[in-house]
Amino acid sequence: MADIHAVEPTRRDFLYVATGAFAAIGAGAAAWPLTDQMNPDASVLALASIELDIGAVPVGQEITVKWRGKPVFVRHRTEKEIADADAVDITELRDPQTDDARLVKGIDGKLHPEWLILIGVCTHLGCIPLAYKGEYDGYFCPCHGSVYDTSGRIRKGPAPLNLEVPPYKFVSDTKIMIG
C-alpha cells in the first residue's frame, strides 16, 4: 500500500455522516407509508369466516361459494371419484400429496372423503377451473389448459401446484366453517 495520510475524522465529518444517516432514515420512514398504503387494510384482513350448510349438496355435484372474493368449491364426491383419487401413485405427481392429506377430520374425528373443499383458483395464473372437465374428470382450467384430478391435484398443464385447500373445519356433520 502506498503512503496513506490517515487523517483523524473531524467533528464536521461526524456531522456530515450523522446528517446523511438521519436523512436516509427519514426518506425510508416516508417511503414505507407510501408503499404500505397499497396493502389490504385491517377491514379487509379481518374478513369474517363463513359458515356453510353442505348437507344439501347431492352426491356427484358441486357448489361454489365466495370467500375472500374468491370462489370455494364444495364437492360431494362419488365413490368412484374417491377411488380414483386414492388409486394415484403419488410419486408420479408434480405436487405429491395423498388424497387424505387434502381432507379435514369431521367432528367424529374421522375423515369424510366424500367432501372435497378447494379454493377454486388455478395455481397457474388465477383463473377458475371448470369442474367435471378434463382428462381426470376433476377440473380443467380453460385459460392455459391445466388439468386437475378428483382430489384437485395438478396432473397436466402449466400450473405448478395442487388446488389449494382453504382453512376450514366441520362444526357439525353437515356444516363447515371456512376461514
Partner 1 sequence: MSGHSTYNPSNGFTRWLDSRLPIVRLAHDTAVSYPVPKNLNYWWTFGGILTFILVAQIVTGVVLAMHYVPTTALAFASVESIMRDVNYGWMLRYAHANGASMFFVAVYIHMFRGLYYGSYKAPREVLWILGCLIYLLMMATAFFGYVLPWGQMSFWGATVITNLFGAIPFVGPSIATWLWGGFSIGDPTINRFFSLHYLFPFLIFGVVILHIWALHVTGQNNPAGVEVKNKDQDTVPFTPYATVKDAFGLSVFLIMFAYFVFFTPNALGDVENYTVANPLKTPLHIVPEWYLLPFYAILRAVPSKIGGVVLMFGAIAVLFVLPWLDTSKVRSARFRPLFKQFFWLFLVVCLALGWCGGQMPDNVLFSVGGIDIIVTHLARLLTFYYFFHFLVLFPLLGLIERPKPLPESIAASVLGGKTAAAKA
Tell which one of 93, 97, 158, 171 touches partner 1 (CB under 8 A): 158
Q: Which stretch binds partner 1 (CB under 8 A): 15-23, 55-63, 98-106, 126-134?
A: 126-134
* Chain-centroid distance, C-alpha 29: 31
Tell which one of 16, 24, 66, 135 touches partner 1 (CB under 8 A): 66
- The catalytic position among 5, 76, 124, 144 is 144
> How far apart (Å, rounded) are the C-alpha atoms in residues 85 and 106?
19
Q: How far is the CB of 64 from partner 1 (least distance, A)?
A: 6
Q: β-strands 168-170, 154-156: how paired? A: unpaired
Helices (H), the chain: 11-36, 42-45, 79-86
The CA-based dihedral angle spanning residues 88, 89, 92, 93, taken in that order and rounded to the nearest 10 degrees: 50
Q: How far is the CB of 41 from partner 1 (least distance, A)?
A: 8
Site residues, partner 1 (CB under 8 A)? 35, 38-41, 44, 64, 66, 68-71, 124-128, 130, 141-145, 157-160
